[in-house]
A and B are shown apart, each in its own frame.
Chain A
């Protein structure tokens, strides 16, 4: 029983870290691309959305190319900082973050774009710099959309399978997340383990959805 908690806790750890990364990166990209239009901004927008439509294994392959030992970033990380990401839980965080990123990005883009420009302009005339306009006006008015996107991203990161398997493999206790553990249990014919893990995963997902629904009901 306690063995089953190991993949769950690992999954939560990976999903929380990945969600924190995509919340920051997704909102930052949505803000910059929504506010500044420059040559190539539409191409960057398409690239930011791409992981949503690409098969996770394809994305995992790209990540291997970039972060692998001989990859552009992977080789540099290994040589200069001694960090290697393949077959580590940090690698799984990168895989989950890449897959979940578009969910926050798209939600933030839509909700920041729908904030009344008059309100942002009113703040500017009242002496606010762009940082204050963003943190005191735009973001508080767009937070519902951003929050909903973040919850979806968390759920997506919890259920990540394909890209994680390609980058981090399936090392029990180290990189074996709950989805991968379920797959392995079914493959090995351990039905009771699989049943328990499936129930546990379902329960966690229901709790997260219920909690976020409750949170979203709050009015300002």
Chain B
């Protein structure tokens, strides 16, 4: 997998102007984007997913051009085949767990997508008994598993995770990190994880991209043998 991102954009929020100018490349399968809130991390992965159009730049995933301002390429979000797990999971509240997971497979506007694949995914994500439940009836961890199952059932080329652990209680976080790593391996899907928690960086990063406000401060390849000490060094945690 190779991800090449170069983008520039000016965003106006209320009376504030935010300038984002980032460029990074990675061929690793676990990329962590670390930085303070307001640095532009979410905006960057939203641009990769096709939810925001940059003013200029280029986004290439494994040789497939998703966006290129020079040649006026801008694939719609639905054509990018990118998995995205939102920070609040964005589960459809009016659909059951099974319907949420089946959503990407629905061919027509009516529900009733291929049952077998959905069953298999529900079982894989430990949701077999919850198929008929609604998102509001689930715990935080269960919601996250629904969001992951729904994103992965389409077999995306890359999975983007926006602060995947922020909405979970601290006890669950350690366990969930392990589960995410296992998923990454079993689905062999490259992941981009956004976080502002150094513990996530330590758990996930093969390539670490540190954001400062609106720009990439540094990019470091993490050596798996001395991961912990390297991460502490880079993040200045002694």
Question: Which residues does A use to contact B, with CB under 8 Å?
Answer: 116, 118-119, 121-129, 131-132, 135-137, 140-141, 220
Contacts and interface: CB of A to CB of B under 8 A. Distances in A.
A220 B86 contact: no
A216 to B, nearest CB: 15
Interface of B: 46, 49-51, 76-78, 80-84, 86, 88, 90, 92-94, 103-104, 106, 109, 111, 134, 150-151, 154
A122 B90 contact: yes
B77 A140 contact: no
A135 to B, nearest CB: 5
A126 B104 CA distance: 5
Which 9 pairs of residues, A with B, have the shortest CB-CB distance?
A122-B90, A124-B77, A126-B104, A118-B90, A125-B84, A220-B94, A127-B78, A140-B94, A121-B51
A127 B79 CA distance: 7
B103 A125 contact: no
B51 A137 contact: no
B109 A131 contact: yes
B154 A126 contact: yes
Contact of B109 (A116, A122, A125, A132): A132
Contacts of B88: 118
A141 B84 CA distance: 21
Main secondary structure of the interface of B (DSSP, over half): loop
Contacts of A123: 92, 103
Given A125-B83, A131-B109, A136 B103 contact: yes
A122 B46 CA distance: 11
B78 A121 contact: no
Contacts of A116: 90
A220 B46 CA distance: 30
B76 A124 contact: yes
A118 B76 contact: no
A128 B86 contact: no
A124 B150 CA distance: 13
A77 B92 CA distance: 46
A220 B51 CA distance: 28
Contact of A128 (B78, B90, B94, B111): B78
Contacts of A140: 94
